[in-house]
Structures are given as C-alpha cells and as structure tokens.
Structure 1
C-alpha cells in the first residue's frame, strides 16, 4: 500500500469527559468569583467604618481645640470666637464632684452633634511635698480638663469619638 491511500481507522466512540471537566472548571471559577465579590464588599464596609470613625475623631479633636481657645479667651477675659463651643459659666470649678469621662461619653446619645465638659483641676492636683498638700501647684496658671464628644455626621451618625485632654494656660 502506498502512503497516499492509507486507510484511516474508524474513530472511537467519544464519551464527553472534556465537557464534564470544563463544566466543573466553570463552576469552580464562578465560586471563586463570588467569594472575591464577598471579600471586596466586606473590605468596602470596613473602609467605610474606618472612615466614619476617623471623621468622628477629627471632629472631636476640632471641638477640643476650639474649647481650648474658648477657655483661654475666658481666662484672659477676651471676646470669645463665634464658633466657641462653651462660655465662661460652662467651666466647673468644683473638685469634689467625681467625673468619669468614659461614663460621660457613653451617656451622650447619637443625636448629639458635639458636647463639651470643662473642669478646672489645678486646685485638685496635690503638691509634691507634705507642706504643700492640698494647695495648687501653680496658682497663676490654671489647669483644665477638657472632655469633648463628637459624631461623624450632623444627622444619621454612625460613629462617635471622645477626646479627654489636660490644658494648661
């Protein structure tokens, strides 16, 4: 027989194994895609929560800085800025009242945009030696405890933050 007239053998009966393998691979790829979408959605929610928390903290920090300027204006008897979050009567001078910043913060509802609590604590700080017990360390420069609270947005807030600081003139 000549090479040109070679007889081709009859094809074997196909069983379709490639089709099954391809379908299984498609199902696996679809499952990987669905899992990837869920992970991306979760990361977006986490980033959104982080952003809201960061905005609330920045708002609380801003209220703290404005409160420090207002306390300084009250102590120096100058005019308060128009955005001052407090007036002179808001400053507490009594050391006998126990104040817990954490409990004060937790008592604020989410509908509160911002809140400030200022205490003058220089008379509460006890001197270093036994002869100066109960006397302020430096009566000329008062010390204030400023606790502020703020939310991330004016309406429908989802995050809150509080800053507790010590401010000395």
Structure 2
C-alpha cells in the first residue's frame, strides 16, 4: 500500500487575508468598546444629576416640614425646636405684598443658605387685604403659605429646589 500524501500549500502561495480580516474585527471591537464606555460615562453623569436633584428636593421638603412644626409650636405656644427655620416675627400677614414664589426662588443664589418665606393667607383667601372684603370663616384655623428653598449639599451645591405649599392648622 502506498502512503497518501498530504499536500500543503507553501508559504509563497498565502496572501495574509486572514490577518486583514482579524485586524478589521479588532478595530470594530475596539470601537464598540469605546462607544460602550462613553454610554456608561453618560449614564453615570445622569445618575449623579438625578441624585443631586432628588437630594435638593428632599432637603427642601424637610425644610417645609420643619416650618410646619414650628408654626404648630407657635400656635400652641410651645417651645420651638432647635432646628426651627422661623420665629413668630418672621410670619408675614400682609396680603397685598405681591409675593411671587417663582420670582422669590429665582432670586436666591444656588450658593445661598436654605431659606423659607411664610405668609398667613387665611384673610387673603376670604377676601381680606386692602379692600377688606370680609373676615376669615374660621379664625381658629389659620392658613399659611410656606415657600422653602434648599440645595443638595451645603458646600458646593449643584442643584436647588423650591417648594410652595399651603398649610392649615
């Protein structure tokens, strides 16, 4: 029996097409990897922005709740908490002051301290003010407009929020 011969091509006949295809595939994989890194970086920035916005909103809501507790303490003539953002003299009662919560919030610098504006508005709702249209229906349950401003972190804030709410005792 005669042994079978295997024939192999000699290196002179090979042209290196596989090398070119492999290099092109590596370039494509590198481009996909770079695009994936850019997407991941953008998602990280979006998550950080969402966190800052959410934190500033929660801080502002906390300021509003502390103000409500302070108003209840003032109405009940009990001692104010140490973290109370207002005092009895800081509650405004003038209906005709032209207060604009949006303008008030825009005028505060983001680097400014947390602040709150409180107005007693029960006489304004019924028709009080300069034209004196009537008295409040229930003077024992006053209504307050609370507008609060806060940021995400005290040092170097990147986001701020303003909440305008109505609070009735």
What residue number does 1:168 align with? 168
SS where residue 125 of structure 1 aligns? Answer: helix
Please give the alpha-carbon distance, in whole angstroms, between the structure 1 residues aligned to 2:104 and 2:49.
23
Give every structure 1 segment of 4 or more consecutive aligned residues whose post-TM-superposition deviation is greater than 6 Å: none
Unaligned runs of 5+ residues in structure 2 are: 128-132
What residue number does 2:116 align with? 116
What residue number does 1:4 align with? 3
Give the 3 Å change call, closer, same or farther, for CA 16–84 of structure 1 in structure 2.
Answer: same
| Aligned pairs (5 A) from 1:7-156 | 8=7, 11=10, 13-126=13-126, 133-156=133-156
Partners of 1:116 and 1:146 within 8 A in 2: yes
Please give the alpha-carbon distance, in whole angstroms, between the structure 2 residues aligned to 1:100 and 1:3.
104
TM-score, normalising length: structure 1: 0.91
SS where residue 126 of structure 2 aligns? Answer: coil
SS where residue 118 of structure 2 aligns? Answer: strand
TM-score, normalising length: structure 2: 0.91
What RMSD, in angstroms, separates the aligned Cα atoms of the two structures? 1.8
Pick which of 8-17 and 48-57 moved more: 8-17
Partners of 1:120 and 1:145 within 8 A in 2: yes
Counting matched residue pairs gives 164
